[in-house]
A and B are shown apart, each in its own frame.
Chain A
Amino acid sequence: MNQLDIKRFAIKFGGESGQGINSLGEILAKALKNTGYKIFGYREYPSLIRGGYASYQIDIGNEAINSSSQFCDILVCSSRRSIYQYLRDLRSNSILIHTLTAVIFKPEDQEFIKSQNIQVKYIDALTLAKQQGGNALMSNMILLGALAEIIGLDLTSVEHIVNEQFADKPKLLEIDLKCLKVGHDLNIADYNLNLQKFDGWQDSKIITGNHAIALGAISAGARAYYSYPMTPASSILSYLAETSHESGMLVKQAEDEITAAQMTVGSMHMGTRAFTGTSGGGFDLMTETISLAGIIETPLVLVLAQRPGPATGLPTWTSAGDLNLAIHAGHGEYPRIVISASDFETAYSLIQNAFDLAEKFQTPVILLTEKQIAEGLYNVKDLPQDIEINRYLLNENELTTKSTLKRYQFTENGISPRWLPGSDLPQYNANGDEHDEVGDVNEESLNAKLIAEKRMKKTELIKMSLPDPVLYGENEADITFIGWGSVKPVINDVRDILKQNNSEIKINYLHYDYLFPLKSELLLNVLKNSKRLVLVENNYLGQLGQLITSETGFQFSEKLLKYDGRPFFIEDILNFINSSRNE
């Protein structure tokens, strides 16, 4: 397995927060894309503004890649700490470039460097930048130039992006371009990668999962977004605010998450499309409101961008640990829908579907995402096809008798007619107290039973209408993985690697976008026919596994769980397959 030919390549920039690591990564990512390559960008950073260690990794390939590898081929470091932090992430025959004088490696590090045949190259980037009239940040341009030379990337493609990025600062731009050239001419390392231009991903865009959610919502007619900043959901708020003049969306930073959720319910109740987004801690504060939306049967759409908890946890890292939270949020019993994005395309489509489902079933919909998706940088050629907008409101023209209308009418399938405040129809009370069919308070036992049944009936209907999980790969496989969220692109990337290598091991993957209420027909079929089942989740408990067990009784004997704040890397899956083969 170690001899697998993996047709992808990774470059990691490491440094402190505030050193310009992100703009370095972005420029290179864009230059690579313009040369035709597919990239996936992955950022690690601490929850602080200056210091610590941060990285920006770009995985590069000719064909679709949508995940990160744990190891990189070139590591470029501009802080001492990042060298020590990331040294062990280098593959054999790789390169470490750094800008620090007198870096002292511990004996075991020296041994690692030697055994892995790692070239360590020092560039006095600051001095070189100053010689061109530049400052500390411009030493990044020296590094970028040197890197372009090493990987055989045409310098003009990098210059093109730098030109675009700094066009409004012509004096600095001139120095930046000089620095690039100086770095390029250093000819610093001996490396044989030759990233030739080819006809591939030039026409794509580099864009994050949060952008997908924002654009999907804009397109679906969401007219208000209420939110309180919280990583990794914050960039939905900032992007929607930034584009609010184009979209006309009302974007409000609320005073807290309770407010954000309540304003969303208020706006949705009146009949517009509004939504809110947060992470686990903020979501906790929203749960009473989700419960309210459940009883007043007002559509509600919430984005829960997961990061590791409990409490503040690891605020800038990734996790899929809030499935249980989403499924169980809010007191009392009411139907809800929990769905999860797994990449750019699903983030875009599922936020649209969230509105559709919320309005169709008049109940809360929680869209899960993860830091890895929210802030992951994808290459995307086109926006996915939009979901058709349906409002599922009462058609006033078809009404014969208006006076007998009941907003919470007991119906066969549990869905009652919905009309909006302002309509010339019977006015009703959206009552958070238990109520009768018209919304008046009612504490009678029969009514309590009937209206609870009316609401809960919707769960079966929802379950029937949700799409099945998707089986990726052949029906027959040696190992069947089951997972959700950002696990999907990692396993699918691994499937591609195995296929390209004509591996004798066949894997397939059953993926859940629609998590709750859980669809189990296809699952049971897969469970019955698979040789070996492995649950893969970015959490400790194996929460989808718990849900499957509670629904079907099936217990997973094999679980691949990761809960260290890092996403699954392709190596995690490859090593698992490899080690199981050696057993």
Chain B
Amino acid sequence: MSSLCKTYFENENVSLKDYYSDNIYTWCTNCGNYGIAAATKRALVAENIEPKDTFMCFDIGCNGNGSDKIGGYRLHGLHGRVIPVATGAALANRNLSVIASGGDGATLSEGIGHLVHAIRSNYNITFLMHNNCNYALTKGQASASTRQDVPMDSSPDGTPSDTLNFMNFVLSLGASFAARTFSGNVQQMTEVIRAGIRHRGFSVIEILQNCPTYNKDTTHEWYQDRIYDTIEIKDYDNSNFDSALNISKDMSERIATGVLFANPNSVPFDQRLENRQNYSTELVDEVKSYNQISQELFSRFI
């Protein structure tokens, strides 16, 4: 085992066991979530982030059922709303690493407005989009990323609506960080999540996730046969937006994974606020009486 790999388990301030939970997983056998949970923990340990400095937010869906199977401070919120609750938290205390998880059902339907505006605002959080191409927790309805010709619980003839290519969509919105990874590749997932945590801005990570129970179309093996890593592309430059947009398109023959795009000049939302430029404190540390300011503002009225 290389020294790099060791830091996945044991680091200066934190080790993998600090993120352990006694609770028993409730996912299906061979669910992609096991790999995602493992990679998330490894990434946090590798980044030397203690559980007390982690705030993980979970949407409703199978990902959310992992909210009590991992250490760290956590919030398990409402369907589609993980992005705004996580950004509100991140803005209040930037000392914590905020990771939000949501599925394709929540993110591409009820939560799609939040996604669009979070990309615009470039909030400094890491967003793990668990894309298993269906609503698994409600037993297999089609989501916006389900392929059209696949019969699903609520659409036995296949869904009449077009399929949404998440990565392509995210890039078209000008995301400052866009990565795609695969739940079957814990090593790559770990490194991609680490890069997402380090990125200053809204890091969007699409995880192509197999769903052994409800997704018989794009299975673990199906992805295995099609994915490749951008490092396999000669001289791939992930600061080049056009190349990223280009390789993000193919979701059926050769599927690109890795950090497709990272804007080296990304400025996160909190640094864009002109009125907060001189503050080194966090909002959570600033709750006290500002009576003098109120009095001063009051005195300006005529």
Contacts and interface: CB of A to CB of B under 8 A. Distances in A.
A80 interface: no
Given A218-B290, A432-B78, A422 B89 contact: no
A429 B301 contact: no
A273 interface: yes
A412 interface: no
Query: Which has the most chain A C-beta neighbours within 10 Å: B55, B57, B116?
Result: B55
A244 B275 contact: yes
B15 to A, nearest CB: 15
B291 interface: yes
A530 interface: no
20 contacts: A206-B302, A224-B88, A244-B275, A246-B296, A248-B279, A255-B116, A258-B84, A259-B84, A262-B84, A266-B91, A267-B91, A269-B88, A271-B92, A292-B77, A422-B93, A425-B52, A427-B73, A429-B67, A430-B74, A431-B67
Contacts of B96: 270, 421-422
Contact of A265 (B67, B73, B76, B85): B85
A135 interface: no
B114 A255 contact: yes
Interface of A: 30, 161, 164, 205-207, 211, 215-216, 218-221, 223-224, 226, 243-250, 254-256, 258-259, 262-274, 288-289, 292, 296, 383, 386, 389, 391, 420-425, 427-433, 435, 439-441
A422 to B, nearest CB: 6
Contacts of A432: 60, 75-78
B55 A421 contact: yes
B293 A247 contact: yes
A343 B95 CA distance: 40
Task: Give the 6 A-B CB pairs with smallest separation, nearest first.
Answer: A266-B88, A263-B88, A262-B84, A421-B73, A270-B92, A205-B301
A440 B291 CA distance: 41
Given A205-B302, A226-B88, A389-B289, A440 B23 contact: yes
B298 to A, nearest CB: 5
A427 B114 contact: no
A224 to B, nearest CB: 6
Contacts of A259: 84, 113-114, 117
Contacts of B287: 221, 223, 271-273, 389, 391
B93 A205 contact: no
Contacts of A431: 67-68, 74-76
Given A218-B293, A429-B76, A432-B76, A266 B23 contact: no
Nearest to A296: B75
Given A223-B283, A383-B298, A271 B93 contact: yes
A207 B273 contact: no
A428 B81 contact: no
Contacts of B93: 270-272, 421-422
Given A205-B298, A254-B84, A422-B96, A430 B76 contact: yes
Q: Which of B60, B113, B291 has the most CB of A within 10 A?
A: B291
A219 B87 CA distance: 25
Given A263-B84, A274-B88, A246 B297 contact: yes
B86 interface: yes
Interface string B265-302: 00000000111100100111011111101111111011
Looking at A161, A259, A270, A273, the one whose CB has the most chain B CB atoms below 10 A away is A270
A261 B273 CA distance: 20
B51 interface: yes
Contacts of A244: 275
A218 B273 CA distance: 18
B92 A429 contact: no
A431 B85 CA distance: 13
A271 B284 contact: yes
B294 to A, nearest CB: 4
B148 interface: no
Interface in B43-92: 51-55, 57, 60, 64-65, 67-68, 71-78, 81, 84-92
Interface residues of B, number: 60
Nearest to B76: A431
The DSSP consensus for interface residues of chain A is mixed
Nearest to B100: A266
A30 B302 contact: yes
Nearest to A388: B289
A420 B287 CA distance: 14
Given A215-B294, A266-B89, A422 B289 contact: no
Contacts of A205: 298-299, 301-302
A206 B68 contact: no
B73 A247 contact: no
A427 B65 CA distance: 17
A440 to B, nearest CB: 4
Nearest to A352: B289
A206 B302 CA distance: 6
Contacts of A421: 52, 55, 73, 89, 93, 96
Given A224-B283, A439-B68, 14 more contacts: A219-B294, A247-B290, A256-B113, A262-B78, A262-B81, A263-B91, A265-B88, A268-B88, A270-B55, A270-B284, A427-B51, A427-B54, A427-B73, A441-B67
B113 A255 contact: yes
B70 to A, nearest CB: 9
A181 to B, nearest CB: 22
B275 A248 contact: yes
Contacts of A254: 84, 117
Contact of B301 (A207, A220, A224): A207
Contacts of B273: 250
Nearest to B94: A270
A207 B297 CA distance: 11
B276 A215 contact: no
B74 to A, nearest CB: 4
B102 to A, nearest CB: 13
A422 B53 CA distance: 5
A234 to B, nearest CB: 18
A439 B74 CA distance: 9
A91 to B, nearest CB: 29
Contacts of A226: 88
A386 B77 contact: no
Contacts of B117: 254-255, 259
Nearest to A242: B297
Nearest to A244: B275
A215 B298 CA distance: 8
Given A248-B279, A259-B114, A267-B91, A427 B74 contact: yes
A231 B86 CA distance: 28
B129 to A, nearest CB: 18
B84 to A, nearest CB: 4
A440 B86 CA distance: 19
Given A30-B302, A258-B81, A441 B297 contact: no
Contact of B78 (A161, A219, A248, A292): A292
A250 B75 contact: no
Contacts of A250: 91, 273, 276, 283
B302 A420 contact: no
B294 A263 contact: no
A360 B81 CA distance: 26
Nearest to B80: A258
Contacts of A223: 92, 283, 286-287
Contacts of A428: 73-74
Contacts of B275: 244-245, 248-249
Given A205-B302, A206-B302, A424-B52, A269 B75 contact: yes
